[in-house]
A = this chain, B = another copy of it.
């Protein structure tokens, strides 16, 4: 089998190739990590030469940085943008949780959450990749905290609640879920995460709708 079909419609020739490379790099890196991802493997997967691929980036580190940036764009498109459109405050916060869990469950990347994998891989190394991952983590955290503050100003969440604490608990729960889910692949874990989030929000929500009882902790609690 020679080469590969070059029918991935994008802008110009060189840009298209670069995008194809980065799409494959994000995919591979989500599974094997960014350090184990080799230029040779990546090139042969795309049917091009090692040196040809290398020329697009100039160093492995530059390829890694570009890969993280590409993954950030995917995450923004798949998780942040859909939730951003929801009504402000609590619904939007819940939407962020949902789109994040869905991003993992739909297997947007074969290795699960790209940034969780990169976080574990680079948390002990200095350099631009760790900086990127840290910056994005803080960016997302701030975004969610702002959503909680909006929920408070809309009287959906009690004013005495610390936004940082709610956001921390929700994101830690979801991130921990993702780690376990990738290992065990049991969809019930995603369900349990949703129940956990409901229980957490129950504690801070103003005037919960009496029509629903949300027995998150109850035995055999299942979604309808």
Residues in chain B near residue A116, CB distance under 8 A? 120, 179
In the assembled complex, the Cα of A30 lies from the Cα of B36 at a distance in Å of 16
Q: A interface, how many residues as a size bin?
A: 35 or more
Q: Decide: B203 and A161 in contact? CB cutoff 8 A.
A: no
- A112 and B172 alpha carbons, distance in the complex (Å): 16
- Kindly supply a per-residue 1/0 record for chain A positions 173-193, scoring 1 wherever the CB is within 8 Å of any chain B CB and 0 otherwise: 111110110111000010011
User: Contacting chain B: which of A7-15, A58-66, A215-223?
Assistant: A215-223
Nearest residue, chain B, Cβ from A116? B179
- In the assembled complex, the Cα of A173 lies from the Cα of B182 at a distance in Å of 16
B199 pairs with A217, CB closer than 8 A: no
Contact status B165-A192, CB under 8 Å: yes
Task: Tell whether, in the assembled complex, residue A177 and residue B172 are in contact, meaning their CB atoms are under 8 Å apart.
Answer: yes
A155 at the interface (CB under 8 A from B): no
Which residues does chain B contribute within 8 Å of A183, judged by CB atoms?
Answer: 119, 123, 130, 133-134, 137
For window 147-185 of chain A, which residues contact chain B by CB distance below 8 Å? 160-162, 164-166, 168-169, 171-177, 179-180, 182-184
